[in-house]
Amino acid sequence: MPAVFPALLDHVLALLEDVPVGLLLLDRELKPLWFNEEAARACAVWNHGERRAAALRARRDFRVPAALVEACRRLDPEATRPTVVVSDNARGLHARAKLQIIGAEPAYHIQLDYRRPRGDRHRPLSPGAVALLARLSEREREVAMRVREGLRTTEIAAELRRSPLTIKTQLAAVFAKLGVRGRTRVAALLNR
């Protein structure tokens, strides 16, 4: 069994890297223990704004945003389910922090979500975004544009009158054609 555990852990970490939500794990001193690429991107936007974050190497320049540090400090370990939500709606940033104690070791589990505000729906596309959209079929472009707006899969399905499974299939094709792993990256590419 010991030989299986490291291999299983590697598979779980690879799986978590592809999750379209930012995942961040902090120790009791609020230092990062682990984070995926989506968390690195969301934190970069939180710390530097969208334009500057696009120029950074998010993983290399990673820093936990002050708003998340403050949120974690507010968590009460005596509460039944200690959780706090932090949002910066103007930039489309949302985080849910939870204090988890396993054994005697407390850790902070943070889920990050980065979506452009929907008020930006009619912003013109840059020439680079138009070139990226040219790689996609008409139906994939419709889905990609809704991802740009920050819509969820079920919202896209309702708006386009397609099944959520069809939308997921088209999203997978968009990811493959644009060479990205998540909807956050699609939105970032189309919003440049």
- Whether the CA torsion 132, 16, 32, 9 is positive or negative: it is negative
The tokens for 54 are 């696009």
- 120 band by pLDDT with thresholds 50, 70 and 90: low
pTM for the model: 0.59
**Residue 136 · residue 177 · CB < 8 Å:** yes
Task: Please identify which residue in the block is written with the tokens 């008020």.
Answer: 119
- 118-190 CATH fold: Arc Repressor Mutant, subunit A (1.10.10)
The tokens for 122 are 């009619």
- 75 band by pLDDT with thresholds 50, 70 and 90: confident
CB atoms within 10 A of CB 168: 14
Non-local CB neighbours of 190 within 8 Å, separated by 6+ positions: 125, 129, 132, 133, 144, 145, 147, 148
Residue range 91-98: average pLDDT? 85
125 vs 69, residue with greater confidence: 69
d(CA 97, CA 22): 12
* HSE (side-chain half, CA atoms, 13 Å) at 148: 22
- 82 band by pLDDT with thresholds 50, 70 and 90: confident
Task: Give pLDDT tens digits for 136-192.
Answer: 999 999 999 999 888 889 999 998 999 999 999 999 999 999 999 888 888 888 877
d(CA 111, CA 26): 11
The class that CATH gives domain 4-114 is: alpha beta
The amino acid occupying position 19 is V
Task: Note the pLDDT of residue 1.
Answer: 43
Non-local CB neighbours of 12 within 8 Å, separated by 6+ positions: none
Domain ranges in the chain are 4-114, 118-190
The tokens for 55 are 């120029």
Q: Which of 19-23, 30-34, 97-101, 163-167 has the lowest mean pLDDT?
A: 19-23
Task: Give pLDDT tens digits for 2-29.
Answer: 556 677 777 777 777 777 688 999 998 9
Non-local CB neighbours of 167 within 8 Å, separated by 6+ positions: 143, 153, 156, 157, 160
Task: Note the pLDDT of residue 84.
Answer: 86
